[in-house]
A and B are shown apart, each in its own frame.
Chain A
Amino acid sequence: MAPDLLWTFIAFFLTILVLSYVMGDNALFRLVMMVFVGISAGYAAVLIFYQVLMPRLITPLVTTPLAANTALVIPAVLGVLLLFKLSPRLSILGNPSMALLTGVGAAVAIGGAVTGTLFGQISGTISPFELSGLSSAGSVISQLFGGIVLLAGTVCSLAYFHFGARKKNGENTGSQPVLIQILARIGQIFIAITLGALFAGVLAASLAALIERLDFLINVLKPLIS
């Protein structure tokens, strides 16, 4: 039996076991899940060791003089300290590594969000109102309508997440301004549409995956039947 055929049958049975979930959670489904998680973790560990640690840390430190790779000592030490997180008593030694990872990750995320998302989204919201390049009136109206809807959706969605309350005579009244309440109500509609689109996307993605798996089963069984 060719290796491809063997793996095809293994994939076939594993697919059948996963589809057994249609009858509810069962041992076969959990077995497949555990196999999948185990294989994924093992594959990731092997991949990280052979693709990251060996070529980028261990090999340079071993094969080349330390003076030429002094910069590698820092990640090596931090990596060793990170291993102390496995011990509850010595986990404090891994805090510097965790602090570095968290700090760098937060800084990168915030910087990217500001420059990549915030500015980009503001620019994208304004861009539909740039009608100079449009020649036909229909295009102008269409783009302008799209821009208005986009702007309204953005403002109303932001208004929905506005939890401030107005003050009257120096005391919080506990109620939002009427304009905010109206915008929030409209924003709630936009958010509902967005969540519905996301759910539809999830359903469509799942259906696509199911179709692909069923086609796989058919392709496996078709030669056997014919």
Chain B
Amino acid sequence: MSEIICPYCGSTNTIDALTCLSCNKSLYDDVETPAGLPQQDGMEWLNTFRGLESDSNASPSTAEPGSESADAESEVPEWLARIRARKVEEAPPPEEEPLEPDELPSFINQDADLPDWIKEIKSGDIPQPLEENTDNIPDWLKSLAGEDNLPSPPAPSAMPGISLPDIPNDLPVEGLDEFNFEALTEKASPIGPVDLPVDTSELPDDLFDDIPADQPPSAPDIDRPDLDWLDERIETGIPRGGPLAQPLDELEWLNPPTTKQTELSPSTEEPEPAEPAQLPDWMFESVEPTADEIAESAKFDFAAPGSSLPGSGDEELISPLQEEGLPDWLLDDEAAPLVPGTEYLPEGSSDIEEAQMPGWLHAMRPVEAAAPNLIASEEENRIEASGPLAGYQGVLPGHGVVTHYSKPPVYSARMQVTDKQRIYATLFETLIADETRVGAPAAANTTTPQLVLRLVVGLLMVIALLGVLILQPGFAVFPTLVPPESVAFYDTVQTLTAAATPPRVLVALDYDPSLSGELRTISTSVLEDWMAGNSGLAFVSISPTGPALAAELVTAAAVQSPAYISAERVINLGYLPGGASALAALANDPTRTAPTTMDGLSAWDSLLLQGMTAVSDFDAILLLTDNTENSRAWIEQVKPAAGNAPLLVISSAQVAPALQPYVQSGQITGMVAGFMGGAAYEQLTQSPSGPVRGYWDAYQGGMLLIAALMFIGAVVFGIKKFVRRNKKA
């Protein structure tokens, strides 16, 4: 209460002003103490009430301006004087037009219609007030008393002659939001819709008997029961923290209808404006606090609101909450930065003593122990802006924990590698380098040149051979030097065919049809010699195609030997399945291994093979082969069982190098290999029309051409390589 509101124009004036600065009317003309109103005589309660009003500022919504008298001003406590002095310094110019005196509610002037209970009070028989001590105050009211973002109470309007304590718009008043202002204004009853935290059943019934339910009650009828709690509070010394919300709500009706209230509830216009002269005298009596109360109030310090209530113009409300009544955490909130829009600066904050946070509140903040210091410091300065915990500071650290996190530690990714491991890694890298290296792009498409080259070489070979075969130039000379194995072969054949008894030869035919042209050419001359000696030929093969090739070979050789009776002297034992195993079985018991001929006749009962039971009974074994494995199988399996029977081999040229060791070792008696061997054999036999001789020019020409092509190719590729090397150099 650092200012006095003019009862005529509603403007704010300094506390020491006697006339309104705006309308120049006397501020105390109508507030003189009525002569007829006794000051004593059982009205101590009213003085007490005024004392409460002055030191507690517990009725924010019922603030009535300008009821201070000059006498009371001299007795104001020190804290109030200090506030007034500061307000005087900071008082803004008045902007709001004052209410007309006729706009005051009529109940203020209804002094005569005091209810019985007031009369009883006046008579000194004060009914027992509601026991409203701290025990009856619910905990929720205590705990939530510090909320600072409650809905703003209705703007206090100027009340002529009465100056109620200023209330900050962010006064933490519990239950104010539950107050049904609209219902209150409609019924003009502050009791009905108000949800009192106290049990109204404890109130005496006579308090409510005289209150009409459908009409606005007069001021004496209403304020008395509502103000009793103030008396009780003063008597009991209840701290003015959260419980002060109750008087704030209950004194709401004392506020004259403001613009805002009118907008909310048109029925608030019903109360007649109270004339200042009609106001009860007791409302204008000065407060005369006792010395104890002054001393007690001196301990308190009010936090001046930073902003006035909505609709109140420049009125500044003083927080009714005192530091002594406030919990420590609420004091911490005051020191903390406020949420924009809801903050207020405490007046004379430098004078506010820093309070200590109670232990129980520390216990409610376990996040301080768990959260990082950074978060904790931020949490200490953060005020919850919304939700049921709005206004509390550092209560919910979860937001900070989630949104604020420390940078994760950075670990070194450098490997600790030993020298040995480094060497291995280098070697491995070298190994895979060739695999991962992209190969050089192909210099050119080599498919076409290769095809052309192959076509040229092939056609050249074919044309050359055809020309030689057709023309038969005879430029090639038969070899005069024959290999010793061919000589041995020739000698063996001549020896056997020259014998008195025609020899019986086991002919092993194991070559594929693909090389029949070579082997048939070579063996034809040999078979002709054997046929010339009327030799008995028993063909056997470990190749399925052998029997057919044998028949063809006999047919071709018999052309040159018309006297030879193939049907009698030639027998085909057919195919022997099993490879080397079949040869081993044949070496052991030929009669059981190859019992029949190709015609199904008993082979060993024929005239040719009659009396023979073993391989050694044959005079010679002639092997025609183009395969190294089969040749070795014959040598390994049959030759040991053949005894003294010579093993003669007619082989393809491709097998000759592999069979040469057996020739050197004597396991092969004689061998004719390829056209070279056939030419040597024909050279030895002096056959003028041997098949090899007819192919000898072509064979020699072809071999010469191949050699020339190989030489030319080697030279060309050598030159190309030399050129490339020079280019690289």
Contacts and interface: CB of A to CB of B under 8 A. Distances in A.
Interface of A: 19, 22-24, 40, 43-44, 47-48, 51-52, 55-56, 104-105, 108-109, 111-113, 115-117, 120-121, 123-125, 127-128, 150, 194, 197-198, 200-205, 207-216, 218
A198 B654 contact: yes
Contacts of B513: 40
Contacts, number: 163
Contacts of A121: 661, 665
Interface stretch (B120-128, B223-231, B475-483, B695-703): B695-703
Nearest to B459: A22
B598 interface: yes
Nearest to B465: A214
B636 A113 contact: yes
A47 B544 contact: yes
A218 B699 contact: no
A42 B656 CA distance: 31
B462 A43 contact: no
A222 B699 CA distance: 20
Given A40-B544, A208-B695, A211-B702, A116 B635 contact: yes
B664 to A, nearest CB: 5
Contacts of A124: 661-662, 664-667
Contacts of B636: 112-113, 115-117
B365 interface: no
Given A47-B574, A212-B517, A212-B521, 11 more contacts: A22-B455, A43-B548, A47-B547, A52-B577, A55-B596, A108-B580, A116-B640, A120-B662, A197-B656, A207-B702, A211-B695
A205 B461 contact: no
9 contacts: A108-B580, A108-B581, A116-B635, A116-B637, A123-B666, A200-B653, A201-B657, A205-B654, A210-B462
Q: Find the residue from B466, B544, B695 having the highest chain A CB count within 10 A.
A: B544
Given A105-B581, A205-B626, A207-B703, A48 B698 contact: no
Interface string B499-524: 00000000000000111011011000
Contact of A201 (B459, B632, B674): B674
Interface of B: 451, 454-455, 458-459, 461-462, 465-466, 469-470, 513-515, 517-518, 520-521, 544-545, 547-548, 574-575, 577, 579-581, 584, 595-596, 598, 600, 626, 632-633, 635-637, 639-640, 652-658, 661-662, 664-667, 673-676, 694-695, 698-699, 702-703, 706
B575 A115 contact: no
A209 B518 contact: yes
Nearest to A199: B654
Contacts of B465: 210-211, 214
A51 B458 CA distance: 41
A198 B459 CA distance: 25
B597 to A, nearest CB: 10
Contact of A55 (B600, B653, B656): B600
Contacts of A203: 706
Given A112-B633, A124-B666, A208-B517, A51 B702 contact: no
